[in-house]
């Protein structure tokens, strides 16, 4: 196996696919890149047994094809030290030595046989396939991933729920305290659902930023495959039944607050400094077109309050929320104005962006309140 390649192109490919590699791999071979050269296409595969990412680039001056397992850390550490120059990579098929040479020098890295590298999972004959727009996929992941859980007892909450109906695609993320539902209008030929784990969702998000063409998504009962222009991501789905999220979304919250999102977000951040570090409780007293934010930590005799003007339609209400969750929700809404719909101090608050014109998608964020000690 011998070829010439741009140092920055190779580094970019290895850095992207290398994000899959886990620091706690059970198989030593998973600490390696699987590099396969066929024609002038170099394919690089990485896996942690749950998620597999395959990327490819075009290389020059191919003298011989082949396959090698290259140590990930050594390859990345070596390539980071080069500016943009052509590198010649020559693999010895007898002892698996990888020799990287350039105009003024060379280095040698011990590789390994690729025989024991795990095979890429294949989808079953009952798979379902569709094409999805890049922006839709990026928006769906971005808006919901922060609300997913890290709960070993309820693994179904540790991922993003994709639900395909005839005329919409819904993304949902929840950790039982907060919930985000992002729904986009699209025509689907299949009606199905799956739960995408958090790690591959983050990987997919970073790879999608370089894409423009629609993405092909195929899935069966166990795995999902995303095919992009120069990458393919395959991962095992989270098994189980997703909670009935529509049941917890209040049908009618009569009290509605229209408020400047940035003003409220900054006010919460300032007041939260004085909240109890265990609970992060912030109290909101809403009446007469004003939101009064208060927080206190009795143990250290600190307290803070701030009043923000708003447009309020409803009864006077006192409600408590965890400030860290409030900040997350407001930071993940992109419009200048937000509407908060409330019922009373014990029922969930619903946060929605306010748009100037009609949208083909809708975002709803829900946050469970906290007890206020009077």
What does the buried/exposed string (b/e) look like for 186-220 if buried means 16 or more CB atoms within 10 Å of the residue's CB?
Answer: bebeeeeebbbbbbbbebbeebbeebeeebebebb
As given in the structure block, the two tokens for residue 71 are 């140590």
Q: Going by CATH, does the domain composed of 255-367 fall within 3.10.150.10?
A: yes
The three-class DSSP label of residue 158 is helix
pLDDT tens, residue order, the chain (374 aa): 999 999 999 999 999 999 999 988 889 999 999 999 999 999 999 999 999 999 999 999 999 999 999 999 999 999 999 999 999 999 999 999 999 999 999 999 999 999 999 999 999 999 999 999 999 999 999 999 999 999 888 999 999 999 999 999 999 999 999 999 999 999 888 899 999 999 999 999 999 988 889 999 999 999 999 999 999 999 999 999 999 999 999 988 999 999 999 999 999 999 999 999 999 999 999 999 999 999 999 888 999 999 999 999 999 999 999 999 999 999 999 999 999 999 999 999 999 999 988 888 999 999 999 998 75
CA distances to 9, 54, 94, 194, 360 from 36, in Å: 16, 11, 16, 31, 43
By C-alpha distance, which of 142, 231, 230, 160 is closest to 198? 160
- pTM value is 0.92
Separation between Cα atoms, residue 88 and residue 60, nearest integer Å: 9
Q: Give yes or no on whether 2-110 and 255-367 have one common fold.
A: yes
Top CATH class of 128-245 equals: alpha beta
Which CATH code for domain 2-110? 3.10.150.10
Domain ranges (residues) in the chain:
2-110, 128-245, 255-367
Residue 180 burial by CB count (10 A; 0-12/13-18/19+): exposed, middle or buried?
buried
């Amino acid at each position: 196996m011998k070829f010439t390649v741009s140092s920055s192109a190779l580094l970019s490919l290895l850095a992207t696919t290398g994000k899959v590699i886990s620091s706690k791999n059970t198989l030593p071979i998973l600490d390696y890149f699987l590099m396969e050269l066929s024609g002038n296409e170099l394919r690089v595969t990485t896996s942690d047994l749950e998620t597999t990412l395959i990327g490819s680039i075009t290389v020059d001056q191919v003298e011989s094809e082949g396959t090698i397992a290259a140590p990930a850390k050594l390859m990345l550490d070596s390539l980071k030290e080069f500016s943009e120059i052509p590198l010649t990579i020559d693999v010895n098929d007898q002892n698996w030595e990888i020799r990287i040479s350039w105009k003024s020098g060379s280095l040698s890295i011990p590789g390994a046989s690729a025989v024991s590298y795990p095979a890429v999972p294949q989808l079953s004959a009952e798979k379902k396939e569709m094409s999805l727009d890049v922006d839709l996929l990026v928006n769906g992941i971005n808006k919901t991933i922060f609300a997913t859980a890290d709960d070993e007892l309820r693994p179904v909450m540790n991922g993003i729920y994709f639900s395909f109906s005839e005329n919409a695609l819904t993304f949902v993320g929840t950790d039982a305290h907060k919930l985000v539902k992002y729904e986009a209008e699209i025509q689907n030929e299949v009606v199905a659902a799956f739960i995408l784990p958090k790690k591959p969702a983050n990987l997919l998000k970073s790879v999608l930023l370089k894409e423009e063409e629609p993405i092909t998504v195929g899935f069966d009962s166990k795995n999902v495959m995303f095919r992009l222009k120069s990458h393919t991501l395959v991962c095992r789905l989270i098994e189980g039944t997703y909670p009935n999220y529509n049941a917890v979304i209040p049908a009618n919250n009569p009290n509605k607050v229209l408020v400047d999102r940035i003003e409220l977000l900054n006010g919460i951040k300032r007041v939260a400094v004085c909240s109890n570090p265990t609970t992060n409780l912030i109290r909101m007293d809403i009446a007469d077109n004003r939101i009064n934010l208060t927080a206190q930590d009795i143990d250290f005799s600190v307290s803070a309050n701030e009043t923000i003007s708003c447009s309020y339609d409803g009864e006077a209400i006192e409600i408590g929320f965890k400030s860290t969750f409030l900040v997350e929700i407001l930071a993940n809404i992109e419009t200048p104005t937000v509407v908060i719909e409330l019922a009373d101090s014990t029922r969930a608050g619903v946060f929605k962006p306010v748009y100037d014109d009609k949208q083909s998608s809708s975002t709803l964020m829900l946050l469970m309140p906290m007890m206020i000690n009077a």
